[in-house]
Structure 1
């Protein structure tokens, strides 16, 4: 099967070295296509750049589209020897923008990526010109899926052992089937997920040791954040919620009308807390909007960017 990066981006997969929150160098994989203002696509938990496969060509007709895998995901470095610090994604995203863009970027971010983008818009507003967030877990009270809760509870040492033994590789057909079932559950029309999609969605988990361990670690961080929020202990989730009014850039909040993970009411609430924002519902859309409602999603993004200037 032809390499997805080579088939999608003129220069294929490129690598960037940034410093993480602890000052260590880390390799980030990315691709870019098109010319014009930089538009960065940021994926959610457990995903990688492939999740934006239906948006890259459409948006690159108008912008310089940059798609990257966050640290620990996809083709980017896993840094297994180090424990992650809460908030590391925000610092790393900041440094990726600074390395790749010489002007404020347009950010399109889905799910957990949207939460990272909201935090960055608060902390480093000079880096973001326009912001589009989709189905963001900003007001969630729990991890939305049983599999996430399970991974968050398993000791990291156990997950690392599974990775080191390459069990995901040994049981690849089973893993692909399980992940395909779960991904179809967040799509309004499950039949649109092809065998090729399943192959690439699961590829990092099967081929790159450490992927499962890093996803589990991120879920553990998220679970602690939610727990601290519920008992009023200091946490970044509350900080992001309390500072939403500080986001000044033009912002579009998009939400799937049938998102069972994070209800539409969360999107309406988010819109109400961001002064310069618009809110739009995506019809016939579950949680995975970039796959399940990409035509409406792309149209909404382009219309918003055409109507708002910075």
Structure 2
């Protein structure tokens, strides 16, 4: 199988060391291609840079495209001995931007990556020039999938034992089959998912111990945040909701019309909360928009950035 990083980035997979939100050094895997204004592509929970596979080359015609795997995901470090706190990805995103750019960046985020981008726009407005968010779990009432709920309830020590024993490697064909079924369920046209897609989507889970543990940890944090929000107790998610009005950069909101995880009505609500924002509902599109509706996302993003004077 061709190395995905080298196939998409001139220098292949590169490595950047930052201090994470806990102050420990971590290696972040990233790739970049193109020139011009810096544009970061942020993946969602359980994913990695591969999810943006259909946007990297088209967008690199106009921008310096940078894809990186968040800590705990893909090819980046997975410090399973340390527990995370909600919002750590916001701090780490800011440190990646500062390390790789000397000017404000364009951020394109999907799902959890989009939620991180919204929070970062509030906390570090000087780092973000334009914002594009896709299918954001900003008003989530629950974890959207039964598998996520299950993982969030299993003690992290059990998940870690399964993970470090390399069971996913031993049962790789089963892991790929289960993941393929679940990924097809969030695509409007499931037939577009190829065996190569399944191979790369599941690669970190099979090859890198710690991936499942860190994903489960993030799900536990998400479940706790949603629970606190519903109980009207202080939490990071509600704080991010309450400060959406502070986002001052031009913002494009993209939402799959058939997204069964987070309804398109959430997109309309989000657009009402962000002053300088625009909403585009994507037809024939479910939650996995970065792959299922990549052509529309690429075209709409470029047009938005051109019209807002940043292309």
Q: Which residue of 2 aligns with 1:118?
A: 118
* Correspondence 1:25 to 2:25: yes
Distance 1:84 1:180 in 2: 28
Root mean square deviation, CA, Å: 0.6
Distance 2:73 2:273 in 1: 30
Within 5 Å, give how 1:1-310 maps onto structure 2.
1-309=1-309
Q: Secondary structure at the match of 2:183?
A: helix
Distance 2:97 2:247 in 1: 18
Question: Displacement, 1:309?
Answer: 2.3
Distance 2:57 2:22 in 1: 35
Q: Deviations over 1:223-249 (max 9, x none)?
A: 000000010111011101000000000
Unaligned 5+ residue runs, structure 2?
Answer: none
Distance 1:2 1:70 in 2: 23
Distance 1:62 1:298 in 2: 11
Distance 1:41 1:176 in 2: 25
Q: TM-score, normalised by structure 1?
A: 0.99
Distance 1:243 1:158 in 2: 37
Q: Deviations over 1:113-164 (max 9, x none)?
A: 0100000000110000000000000001000000000000000010011011
Question: Displacement, 1:49?
Answer: 0.2
Q: Deviations over 1:81-113 (max 9, x none)?
A: 111122110000010000001100000000010
Question: Displacement, 1:22?
Answer: 1.2
Q: Deviations over 1:18-76 (max 9, x none)?
A: 00111100000000000000000000000000000000000000000000000000000
Q: Secondary structure at the match of 2:265?
A: helix
Q: Secondary structure at the match of 2:187?
A: coil
Distance 1:215 1:309 in 2: 37
Distance 1:168 1:133 in 2: 32
Unaligned 5+ residue runs, structure 1?
Answer: none
Q: TM-score, normalised by structure 2?
A: 0.99
Q: Deviations over 1:144-200 (max 9, x none)?
A: 000000000000010011011100000000010000000000000001100000000
Distance 1:164 1:25 in 2: 22
Q: Secondary structure at the match of 2:41?
A: strand
Q: Deviations over 1:236-273 (max 9, x none)?
A: 11101000000000000000010000001000000010
Q: Secondary structure at the match of 1:144?
A: coil
Distance 1:42 1:164 in 2: 27
Distance 2:277 2:309 in 1: 13
